[in-house]
A and B are shown apart, each in its own frame.
Chain A
Amino acid sequence: EAQVTQNPRYLITVTGKKLTVTCSQNMNHEYMSWYRQDPGLGLRQIYYSMNVEVTDKGDVPEGYKVSRKEKRNFPLILESPSPNQTSLYFCASSLKAGIEAFFGQGTRLTVV
């Protein structure tokens, strides 16, 4: 079954404690991206990756890092989380950017 898997689904952490949200896809997609979703603001792109070892900033990259060492995985790293990063996060993948994207189930992150 084609899918994008994010882990964890829910996470509560404290300010400053490094965390990683994993994202994995089984469709051999080249394009992967991370979004955050906040009430009234829709989906905002954090980082994207056009292919292995090729990543770039989206609209709201501050406070986040990513890596793309393998085609299937695209982890989102928060080196020093802050409360304003409390949000719902989605990972997505597609064959190419702009083509039908498949989204993960979401990760609800709370930073206290």
Chain B
Amino acid sequence: LAKTTQPISMDSYEGQEVNITCSHNNIATNDYITWYQQFPSQGPRFIIQGYKTKVTNEVASLFIPADRKSSTLSLPRVSLSDTAVYYCLVGGHNTDKLIFGTGTRLQVFP
């Protein structure tokens, strides 16, 4: 089972781009990389998922290098409402256990 490592916390200002990197050195061939966002006292919410190269949706981009041992979640032009904890998760589509890391607490300042 791949274990993930993320920075504990990050600070940013409104309007800036934020990049959160996740390390997953033991990622398996059939593992996908998924990111979730969690606000206080709420359940995590799916942001984006990818396997390799780059994935983009309406809220974020996910960059995955060729060796897939890390990934970077990119949030363009953050706002105060992006203040949350972000979790990186690695697992296959038929993996049994899912292991969340401790997450990255992003604080956005005005």
Task: Closest B residue to A95 by CB, please name it.
Answer: B93
Contact B32 A92 (CB under 8 A): no
Interface 0/1 of A86-104, CB less than 8 Å to B: 0010101000111111111
> What residues of A have a CB within 8 angstroms of the CB of B94 in the complex?
96-98
Contact A92 B91 (CB under 8 A): no
Report B89-104 residues with CB < 8 Å from chain A CB: 91-103
Bound complex: CA of A65 vs CA of B17, how far in Å?
A: 43
Number of B residues with CB within 8 Å of any CB on chain A: 25
Interfacial residues, chain A to chain B (CB-CB below 8 A): 4, 33, 35, 40-45, 48, 50, 56, 58-59, 88, 90, 92, 96-106, 108
Q: Contact partner of B95 among A4, A90, A97, CB < 8 A?
A: A97
* B interface SS class: loop
A-binding segment of B18-26, B38-46, B61-69, B74-82:
B38-46
Known contacts A43-B87, A101-B98, then 8 further A-B pairs from the complex at CB < 8 Å, ordered by chain A residue: A35-B100, A42-B101, A56-B96, A98-B32, A98-B93, A98-B98, A103-B44, A108-B41
Say yes or no: is B49 at the interface (Cβ < 8 Å to chain A): yes
Contact B43 A45 (CB under 8 A): no
> What residues of A have a CB within 8 angstroms of the CB of B71 in the complex?
none
> What residues of B have a CB within 8 angstroms of the CB of A97 in the complex?
91-96, 98
Instruction: Enumerate 7 A-B pairs (CB-CB under 8 Å) in ascending A order.
Output: A44-B100, A96-B93, A97-B92, A98-B98, A102-B46, A103-B43, A108-B41
